[in-house]
Each structure stands twice: as structure tokens, then as C-alpha cells.
Amino acid sequence: MKELKILGVITFFTLVTYWGVEPLAHSIFHPHVAPADFKFKDLPAVKGNGDVAKGQELVAQNCTACHSIEKAGHPQLMDDATLAMSYGVTPPDLSLAGLIYDENFLANFIKNPTEATKLTHKFDDAGRAFPMPGYAWMSDDEILSIVAYLKSIAPKTASNKEVFESACSRCHDMKYAKITASTPDADIKKYMGSIPPDLSMMIRSRGDHYLETFINDPQKQLHGTAMPRVGLSKDGQAQVIGYLEEVGDSKKQEREDLGPWVLGFLAIMTFFAFLWKREIWNEVK
């Protein structure tokens, strides 16, 4: 019983030290932020009636000059480098927009992109124009028609990789998945102020807990960052984080499957080691 007491003392001091250098230190390094808000409650609700056919017409008139929509027969007209040179950043293909982004966010984004992405400090306030003009001059019905059309052409599902590429890879590289940002480095540096980090190991360096609030609203964790809030829906963001995990922590499943076997083996070993020790020490005690 004396030995259990000693073990208790050691465990106590070890845990106090652990608590100090891990949970306590991390709570101070990363102050708690409000949980991710997938309703984007800070944005006004755009109300009205959207009409798919009208939306199709509006998209053809207003969007496809810059945006490709591969799924709806609007292919990319120029190569990435030319697009980036023309607009500052490659405009996204809109095929998946209706699937992966929140509906109300999309409507707000079309009306006023820098407000929705929380980038007014990089553009409006700095006297620069966001590459995409706002469409606040349209009626809410027209805006919602565009959203309705984008939703109508979007596939029902997409792979994690497709979602990631659509939402992240115009700016970010992910070299462990052999993905290179569609905007060339020189252009993206001019556009963002610095080259956005490679995302290969983000799942280990940031962890899913941080990414959950960061991707949802980058300003919350990294105030003043040039990274836009992209407005991924809850499911869309889960797919992006899922892909970060597939690439950066590809052996997670193997790790979690092997763990119980090793620990089980050791538990059995400990049991027999105890029996053996007792037998041996019975002779001398």
C-alpha cells in the first residue's frame, strides 16, 4: 500500500505539471473564441423568391464572362496564368458553389463580396477594389434566382478532394496531394500580401478543433488576415477538414486500429509479469 501512495504522489505532481504546460498554456496562447457559426448570423437574411430559369439567364449575362461553370457547359476560356494576370486571382468555377456554400452567404456574397468575406480592411478601407464587383444593384429576387440556379446545377454530392479544390486551391498549395494553387505565386503574393501557406500538414499543425472555427471565420483566430471567409456550409467545411486529414494524417485509421492490439498485448504481459513477480518474491519475502 505504501507503493500505491508513492504512485499517487508521483501521479499528482506529474498531472499538475502536465496541466500547467499543456491545457493551461494552450488556453492562454489560444484564447477561447465563439464556436463556428454556420448560419453566418452577422449577415442579413436575403428574402424573396428565386427562380431557376431567371437565374440561368442572369448568370449568363453577369457571371460567365469571368467564371467558368464546367458542369453547365461554360468551360474555362483562358489558362490559369492569364486569368490570374487579368483578375489578380483565378476566378472560381461555379459548378459546386450551390452545393458547398451556405445559401444565404452566397446571396450576401453576390451583393457585397468584401462584407461577406470580412475583407473590407483589405479592400474598401485600403482603397482597393475586390476582383468581383458587388451586385447590390440587383433586386433580392434576382440575387436569389442566381443562387437558386447555382443550386439547381450543383451535383448532389462531391468528393472531399473536389470540395477542397473548389474552396481552397485557387490560393493554397497542398504539395503532399500534388495540388498547386491555380493562381501563380507572384500573382497571389500581390493579391494577398504574402504566399498563403501550403496546407499539407495543417491537420497536425492546427488540429481539427482550431480549423473548425478558423475556416468558418478566419478573422476570429487571426485578426486582420487576408484570408477570406469563404462561407462553406457545415457539411462543406467538414469535407474540407476531412480532406486535410486524408492528406496530412493519412495513417490515422491505421494508428487507431493498431493501438488496442498493442495495449491489449501489454495488458496481458503486465498480468503475467505480475504473477511471475509474485511467485518469485514469495520465496524471498
Q: Which of 82, 157, 253, 270 binds another protein (CB under 8 A)?
A: 270
Window of 10-18, 57-65, 181-189, 230-238 that interacts with another protein by CB under 8 A: 10-18
What span, in angstroms and rounded, lies between the C-alpha atoms of 15 and 24?
12
Q: Applying CB under 8 A, which of residues 13, 42, 48, 65 lies at the interface with another protein?
A: 13
Half-sphere CA count of 247, side-chain side, radius 13 A: 22
Interface pick for another protein out of 8, 14, 45, 136 (rule CB under 8 A): 14
DSSP states along 88-135: SSPPPP-TTHHHHB-HHHHHHHHH-HHHHHT-TTTTTTTT---SSPP-
The answer to whether residue 254 forms part of the interface with another protein (CB under 8 A) is yes
Alpha-carbon distance of 113 to 29, in angstroms, equals 32
Q: Does 223 bind another protein (CB under 8 A)?
A: no
Nine cell digits for residue 243: 480532406
Counting contacts by CB under 8 A, is residue 61 touching another protein?
no
Using alpha carbons, list the distances in angstroms from residue 169 to 11, 89, 251, 254, 281.
47, 11, 23, 28, 65
Among 41, 156, 178, 251, binds another protein (CB under 8 A): 251
Question: Is residue 208 close enough to count as binding another protein by CB under 8 A?
Answer: no
User: How many Å apart are CA 262 and CA 265, to the nearest integer?
Assistant: 5
* Least Cβ distance, residue 22 to another protein (angstroms): 5
Count helices and strands (H / E) in the chain: 15, 0
Provide the grid cell at 170: 485557387
Sole window of 49-57, 183-191, 202-210, 236-244 interacting with another protein (rule: CB under 8 A) = 202-210
Contact by Cβ (8 Å): 62, 126 = no
| Site membership for another protein, residue 250 (CB under 8 A) | yes
The residue from 47, 70, 207, 253 that contacts another protein (CB under 8 A) is 207
Residues lying near another protein in the complex (CB under 8 A) are found at 2-3, 6-7, 10, 13-14, 16-18, 20-22, 24-25, 28-29, 175-176, 197-198, 200-201, 204-207, 250-251, 254-256, 258-259, 262-263, 266-267, 269-270, 273-274, 276-277, 280-281, 283-285
